[in-house]
Chains A and B, each alone.
Chain A
Amino acid sequence: MTQELSRRALMGATAGSLLLAGGNAGAQQKPSELRVGITTFLSGPASVFGVPSKQMAELLFEQVNAQGGIGGIPVKPYFVDEAPGTEHLVGEYRRLVQNEGVHVMFASISSGSCLACTPLSDEMRKTTLLWDCGTQRIFEEGKHPFAFRTQGFGTPEVLAPLLYLLKHKPDFKSIAVINQDYAWGRDSWELWKTAMDVLKPGVRVVAEMFPRLGATDYSTEVTRLLASRPEVILTTSWGGDLVTLVRQAAERRLFERSTFVMPVAEASLQLLGKTVPAGHVIGARGDHWNNHPKPKDPAKLAKFVDGYRARYNEYPIYPCHHMAQAISALQAGYAKAIAAKGGGWPNDQELANAFRGLTFDTPTSTITLREDGQGLEDQIVGLSSFNDKFPFAVPKDMIMFPAAMVSTPVGMKSVDWLKTLTPAILAQTPAPI
C-alpha cells in the first residue's frame, strides 16, 4: 500500500499525489514489512565500496526474507546515493523517515555523511546503524542515543597495523606517509603519528605527502619516495587511488626498497592481483578476511563467501562484511527488542534500548556494542602472501588484536588516549595465528 502510494507520488510529482504520500510514519503496531533505509555510494569513486555492499545487502535480505523475515515480517531496503553531498543526503534521510516510514536507517560509507546523519538520528529519534564510516569523532564529540556503529573505527584500524609493524619490524628508523588529501587521510596520519611517537620515539619522518583524492599520477611522489629511501611507507589510501599508487610504485620497484603498510588494502587486493608483492603489511578495517584463520563458524564464513561469489563472481570485500554485520545486528536487535516486549512490536525507543550492549554474530566472529554505541570489532593484520586458493594477495602470519586492546575507551578522545599508551602494550600483543 505504502509502496503503491509513494510510487504514484514518484510518477506524478504533482501536489495532489504528494498529499497522499504523507503521514505513514510512526506506526506502533506490527507493520506489514520492515523498512530499512540504506545510504551508500552508488556513484563516484567511493562506489567501489558502495556497489558491492548494496549487492551484499540485496543478497542477504533475500535470504532473510526467504527464512521468514525479521520478527515474522519481510524486510524491504531503500537505497540512497551518498554521492550528491550532505545537503542532499540529509534531505533523503528525512524523506526515508518521514515519507517512506523506514523503521531503521543504515548510514553511510563517508564519515562526513555519518557526522551529518547522527544528529538527525537524535532529533528524529530513529535508530541508525552506522554501518561503514570510520571517523572517531562520532562518539567522541557527543552522545548519540539512537546511533550505533556495528564495526570498528579509525583508531583501532590504524593502531593495529602500527602494533603489527612494531612486532614485525621493530627497528625501523624512518617512515614516509602518502595519504589521500581529505579528512581520513589526515586523521589516520595524526592517529598513527601520535601513537608512533609514544611507542617508538625517534622515528624519522622523511616525507609527508597528501596527493589529492582521485589523483591519477603518483610519479612525483614515487620519485621522492625512491630518493628519500624510507624503511616504511604508510598509506591509508583506498579504492582507485590505492590501485593506481600500488601499480605505479610496483612498476618502479618501490616495494623492493621499502615495507608498505596499507591498513585499508583489503578492498583493492582482488583488483591488484599479483601486483602487490609478498611481505607487506595489509589490513582490512576489521577481522573479516575471507581467509580468516579461526572463524567462529568456518562453515558459515564459507557459505557467506561462496554465496556472494556464486551470485556476483567476485569475492566479498570488507564493506560487504560491514553490511553483513549491520544486517546481523538488525536481526539480533529486533529479536532482543521483541523478546523484551514479550512478543510485541517495539517502538523507536524500545528498539534503540535493545541495541545498547547488544552482541551479535558476524560471518567471522561476534561483535558487542559498547554503552556509547561503538561496536567492538577485533582487528586482524598480516603480511601479504600468495597461495593456491586465491588469485590475489591474502595475509599470512596474522595477528588478531582484541578490540578492547586497541580501541579508545568510552569517554576519551582518541589522540589523548594514544598519548597515554606505553611500550607495554606491545607485550600484550597476541602471538600470530
Chain B
Amino acid sequence: MIAEGLIALVGAGVLLAVAIAVPWLKFVLTIALAKGIAVLGILLLLRAGQVSFGHAMFLATGAYTVAFLAPAMPEALLLIPLGGLFAGLLGLLVGLFVVRYRDIFFGMLNLAISMVLYSLLEKLYHLTKGTDGIRVARATYAGFDLPRETQEWLMFAIALGLAALFGTLVAAYLRSPMGRALAGIKTRETRLEFLGVSARRVLLFAYVASAVMGGIAGTLVALTTRHVTPLLGYWTSSGELVFIAILGGAGSAVGAFLGAVAFELVRVYAAASVADAWQMILGGVLLLVILFAPGGLWGILAGRLKVRA
C-alpha cells in the first residue's frame, strides 16, 4: 500500500515535470488522466471478473452533461460533479439490469446499451447536432474566467487531483470487505451467497461507482477538448478503455493511469512518426504486452520494484 502510494507520488511528479517541460503534452496528459479515472471503473469490474464493453456510455454521459449545461451554467466546479451524478444515475438504471448477467452476457449487454445511447446522440439531431457534435462553451472556475494557458494548467491540476482522489478511494475500496466480495464473484459466486452477501448488490455498487468515475472522466474530456461528438460513446471508445486496463495491468489503481498515459503517448508518437499506420503500432504494443507481460505495465513495474500488488 505504501509502496504503491509512493509510486503514484513519483508518477504524479514525473507527469508534472513533463507538463512543465513540454507544454503541448499537458493536454495529452490531462486526457490520459481523465481516461485513467474511467479505467479505474473498468478495473473494479475486472476484479469481479466482468468486462464491460460499453463503458464509454458513461464517459459520453458526463461529456454531454457538460456540453448541454455549460451555456446556462458555465461553472466547471459544478459541472464536474453533475456529470458524475448523471452518469451515476444512468449507471444505477443500467446496472439494475445488467448485474443479473455474467461474463460474455454482461459484456455484450453493456455494449448493446452503450450503442443505444450512441445512436440517440447521433439521431436526435436537433438536440445533439449529430456527428458534428457540440462546441463546449467556455467554462468558469469558481466564478473566474481564466485565460487559456491558466485554464489548461487548472484542468491538468484538477485531473491530477481527481485521479489521486479516485485512485485512493478505489485502492481503499478494493481492500474493504465490499471490494473483497468482488473478487469472490470472480472465484465462486455461490460461496458469496452462502456467506449471506448478495452478489448482485456487491456488483451493483461497483457498477454505479464505475459509472460515476466514467462520468467524471467524461466531464474532464469535454472541458479539456471543448468539443464533444457521439464518437466518445462509440464501442471503439469502450474498447479503448478495456485496452488501457489490459495495457496498464489490472493489479493496481496505479496501473490504470500507467496504462492511460502509455496509451496516449504511444498513440501520439505513433501518429506523429507514421501518420498512416499508427494503428499497427498500437496493436503491436498490445500484442507484446499480452504475450510477454500478462500483468501489464504495472506487473512489469511491480516485478522490478518487488512491490506486492
A15 CB–B CB distance under 8 Å: yes
A116 (CB) vs chain B CBs: closest residue: B227
In the complex, the answer to whether A91 meets B28 with C-beta atoms within 8 Å is yes
Contacts of A6 in B (CB 8 A): 272
- Determine if A115 and B132 form an interchain contact, defined as CB atoms under 8 angstroms apart: yes
- Asked if A183 meets B130 with Cβ closer than 8 Å, knowing A19-B21, A21-B22, the reply is yes
Cα A99 to Cα B276 with chains together (Å): 20
Q: Which residues of chain A from 92 to 124 have a CB within 8 Å of any chain B CB? A: 92, 94-95, 97-99, 111-112, 115-116, 119, 123
| B120 adjacent to chain A (CB < 8 Å) | no
Interface window among A79-87, A310-318, A419-427: A79-87
Complex Cα spacing A116 to B31, Å: 16
Chain B 243-284 near chain A by CB (<8 Å), digits 1 or 0: 000000000000000000000110111011101101100000
B24 at interface, CB cutoff 8 A = yes
Decide yes or no: A115 and B133 within 8 Å by CB, A43-B279, A85-B231, A91-B31 being known contacts: yes
Question: Residue A90 at the B interface, CB < 8 A?
Answer: yes
Report the Cα distance A23→B125, complex, angstroms: 42
Complex contacts, B271 vs chain A, CB 8 Å: 80-81, 84, 88, 92
A18 to B18, CA, bound (A): 8
B221 contacts A by Cβ under 8 Å:
yes
CB pair B125–A18 under 8 Å, yes or no, is: no
In contact, A13 and B269 (Cβ under 8 angstroms): yes
Q: Which residue of B lies closest to A123 (CB)?
A: B148
On whether the beta carbons of B23 and A80 are closer than 8 Å, the reply is no
User: A157 CA to B24 CA in the complex, in Å?
Assistant: 37
CB distance from A49 to the nearest CB of B (A): 14
Are B133 and A116 touching (Cβ within 8 A)? Answer: yes
Q: CA of A394 to CA of B283 in the docked complex: distance in angstroms?
A: 42
The reply to whether A95 and B272 form a contact with Cβ atoms under 8 Å apart is yes
Taken together as a complex, chains A and B put the C-alpha atoms of A87 and B28 apart, in Å, by 9
The residue from A10, A18, A87, A92 contacting B21, defined by CB atoms under 8 A apart: A18
A13 touches B276 (CB 8 A): no
Given contacts A90-B227, A116-B225, A183-B132, contact A95 B268 (CB under 8 A): yes
Q: Smallest Cβ distance from A180 to chain B, in angstroms? A: 10
Cβ contacts A176-216/B at 8 Å (1 or 0 each): 00000111001000000000000000000000000001000
The dominant DSSP class at the A interface is helix
A42-B276, A94-B27 given; A86·B21 CB < 8 A: no
Q: When each residue 197-233 of chain B gets 1 if its CB lies under 8 Å from chain A and 0 otherwise, what string results?
A: 0000000000000000000000001001111110110
Q: Does B180 contact A (CB under 8 A)?
A: no
Instruction: Name which residue of chain A comes closest to B125, CB basis.
Output: A186
Q: Does A402 sit at the interface, judged by CB under 8 A?
A: no
Instruction: Give Cα A10–Cα B267 distance, bound, in whole angstroms.
Output: 11
Structural contact, B24 and A10, CB atoms closer than 8 A: no
B130 touches A182 (CB 8 A): yes
- Residue in chain A with minimal CB distance to B126: A186
Which of A15, A80, A135 meets B17, CB within 8 Å? Answer: A15
B131 at the interface (CB under 8 A from A): yes
The verdict on B14 contacting chain A, using a C-beta distance below 8 Å, is yes
> How far, in angstroms, from A7 to B279 measured CA to CA in the complex?
19
Interface string of A203-232 (1 = CB under 8 A from B): 000000000010000000000000000000
Q: Which residues of A contact B237 (CB under 8 A)?
A: 85
Q: Let me know if A135 and B132 touch, CB within 8 A.
A: yes
In angstroms, Cα B227 to Cα A111, docked, is 12
**Which A residues are CB-close (under 8 A) to B225?**
86-87, 90-91, 116
Residue in A closest to B228 when the chains form the complex, CB atoms: A86
Is A137 on the interface with B (CB-CB < 8 A)? yes
Within 8 A of B (CB), among A34-72: 42-43, 51
In the complex, whether A22 has a CB less than 8 A from a CB of chain B is yes
Q: For chain B residues 1-51, which have a beta carbon within 8 Å of chain A? A: 14, 17-18, 21-25, 27-28, 31
- Complex Cα distance, B162 from A61, in Å, reads 46
> Would you mind naming 23 contact pairs between A and B with Cβ atoms under 8 Å apart?
A9-B269, A13-B269, A18-B18, A43-B279, A80-B275, A81-B275, A85-B232, A85-B237, A86-B231, A87-B232, A90-B227, A91-B225, A94-B24, A95-B28, A97-B24, A111-B132, A116-B135, A116-B227, A116-B229, A123-B148, A182-B132, A183-B129, A186-B125
The 6 tightest CB contacts between A and B, nearest first, are A98-B24, A183-B132, A116-B227, A182-B131, A183-B130, A42-B276
